[in-house]
A and B are shown apart, each in its own frame.
Chain A
Amino acid sequence: MVRRMLQTSLEFLKREFFKYYYENIDRLVPPEPIRNREFGFFLEKGKGMFRHKCFNSLRDFHEFILSEIPLDIYVSAANYEDPGNRDMSEKKLVNAELFFDIDVEPVNAVSDEEAAWICQKCGQYDIGLKERCPSCGSPTELVRLLSEKQLREALGETEKLIHVLIEDLGIAPDNTHVFYSGNRGYHVHINQEDFLNITGEGRREIIDYLLIQGLDEKELLNILRRGVSIENISLKGVKKRVYMRILEKAGSVEKLKASRRETVLKMLEDVVEELKVRIDPVVTIDVHRLMRMPESINSNSGMVKRRIRLEDLSFFKPLEEAIAFGDEEACLKVKIAPKFSLGGRTFGPFKDEEVELPVYAAIYIICKGLGEYAGG
């Protein structure tokens, strides 16, 4: 959802969004079959989602986008008999793609320069990492810009996810679609025929498998304590990975056997923490979820939800490859912005100043609610 902004900023945004959609409309292809999908949009700032929308053809969908220039575009992971019905149960679910969301972990390790704070109580703000306002003592709101490091961690989790999906769950690489969300994470859509009809209960089992929840520790602990060597274990799947990692940490089977029960248990906990895939369970369990439309603009950042080819995954640079707008200069009045990188360049920090920025960076700052448009 778009933060509050001035009318001039919004008009600037809409103008640039239109340019993007006009030039890239062919990239916006919703999953088939279009007529069975529900669509949702944020059309104006501060207003609720316009949803239960459906289209008969790709052409209708494209016409709608170019005439309305939505700020955000969503499409259902589910196929419905009657996607336009406002009553969820009357939509009549046919099936739904599996959908995973991995977000960056909350901000911790950013340097003083890369952070800014705003006090909602007394209105003060500045560059730096302050949890309490120096003048009134109230808790501050920390400004979170996208950090390359955090996004890299999330990408690592995404690679872990893809590995488990392909190796263990048998998802074909061709049915695995990976996207940078355009803001703080990654999305993975699975449209494999035999996984479309998995019920809520089944989806929960898949989530538990990925998060390594409900693991029968007793059994694993017994095997570990007996010190079975790799060649002799019949373990497969996640248990095998857990076992191998513990063995690796212990150094050898003998050392593992000699370890105290508590030590092994602690190792087990640590390894589970290390190996689990940090997906957001709520997203995957919900078959009625609307997913951000691939190749559409994310109005939380002004970047694009970008498709990533599996073979390019480990080299993907979100802050360079998901840029939607050009680099002509725009003038921006910035309230506060810590140092940030975008499009291969570094900007800021800024405080109470008018600056010339490339359009993509200007839109980023506006979308983050840190500045307003001041002319082109």
Chain B
Amino acid sequence: MTSENVLRAARYPFLPEAREFISRNIDLTLESLEKTGSEAALKRAVERVENALIFKEVKVTVLDELNYVREILSFPIAVILVSMTMNEYVRRMYALGESRGAYRRMLNESDETLLYIGEKMGVEGVLDDESMIRVKIPTYLKLAYSFHAPHWKLVNRAVINGYVLMGRNEYARLVQVEINNYVYEKTLEPVPMGAAPDSFRRAVGKIVEVWSKLEAAKPSHISLRERGDTPPCIDRIIKKMENGENASHFERLVVATFMIARNRSIDEIIEFFSKQPDYKYSVTKYQVEHLAGLRGGGKKYSVPSCRTMLTNGLCYPDEYCKGIKHPLRYGEENAANKPRVS
């Protein structure tokens, strides 16, 4: 491996070449990890996780890179530590932190390196004559659906001949999602607790401590607007139905599930539906009870997501819809600014 490649492996320790480097040079078993002079790597691994929890980004300095053995080794150790916490929040934040850090570093890479990292992560991109990066539609759809800004929707993209065109930053964002997925999945692999050396268990204890402190300091959740607010999409259907206009089956389902979610009684809901031109008491009662999970398999139906509403042509957003993915989250404070764990 050339020195340049080793440095790249240190900068992006989730790449296959980092794994290769380890398997060629280091005996990576839990017992031996402790001995391989890896106290420094363990320390750095804890730092990685703390970075992720506190700053939501794992930082890698030039000095870290030069210390490449420690750096490369610290990643799989960090994954083991996170897995040992068995804490879903820590898992997600760690994956997010690693992927965010990588995103930031990727922006400074040459096109060639950026595309190389993408390819290794399974997000193949091709640079075209106009300096745009082309990504195959199925790959794009798999990753971009986690973003909710309108410009990520396929309909708003430059699409040509099976490819979605994008600039470097957006491509790096897609690769970030895949890095996130990869790291998260790695942390799901179980670690036999008994096999873990004491130093690892102490490190896990330290991570959990950091997490508890952060949890305790979190402000309790307050909504900007009153919780009972009705989002414009549902308000529109309700108004329409109040006017006695015929609503589609799907629109009725939306309103009924919404009212159920807002704890309105079955009778209240039936009363509301009685204004419909084709109203039948028995049918309405049966259907509303079914949606509420009181009949059949006992499955309670949830309100369709914003995406489903949009697909059905029923989304009429206003300013309070910004950043929400579900009508029930309407008007929640800072929905748009929340860290997106994707």
Contacts and interface: CB of A to CB of B under 8 A. Distances in A.
Given A168-B161, A170-B163, A171-B162, A212 B138 contact: no
Interface residues of A, number: 33
B155 A215 contact: yes
Interface stretch (B93-101, B235-243, B307-315): B307-315
B153 interface: yes
A209 B311 contact: no
Interface string B159-171: 1111101000000
A201 B155 contact: no
A216 interface: yes
A204 B307 contact: yes
A25 interface: no
Nearest to A207: B311
A236 interface: yes
A208 B141 contact: no
A239 interface: yes
Contacts, number: 91
Given A168-B159, A219-B156, A237-B159, A202 B145 contact: yes
B142 A216 contact: no
A235 B158 CA distance: 6
A171 B158 CA distance: 16
Nearest to B136: A194
How many B residues are at the interface, by size bracket? Answer: 20 to 34
B37 interface: no
B339 interface: no
A281 B161 contact: no
A205 B145 CA distance: 8
B336 interface: no
A253 interface: no
Contacts of B137: 169-170, 195
Interface string A212-238: 111110010000000000000011111
Interface in A160-205: 167-171, 194-195, 197-199, 201-202, 204-205
Contacts of B155: 205, 208-209, 212-215, 238
A236 B130 CA distance: 13
Contacts of A332: none
B154 interface: yes
A207 B130 CA distance: 28
Contacts of A197: 138
A100 B138 CA distance: 17
Contacts of A207: 311
A361 interface: no
Interface string B311-323: 1110100000000
A206 B162 CA distance: 12
B219 interface: no
A54 interface: no
Interface of B: 130, 136-138, 141-142, 144-145, 150-151, 153-163, 165, 307-308, 310-313, 315
11 contacts: A168-B160, A194-B138, A202-B138, A202-B142, A205-B141, A208-B310, A216-B150, A235-B158, A236-B159, A237-B159, A237-B160
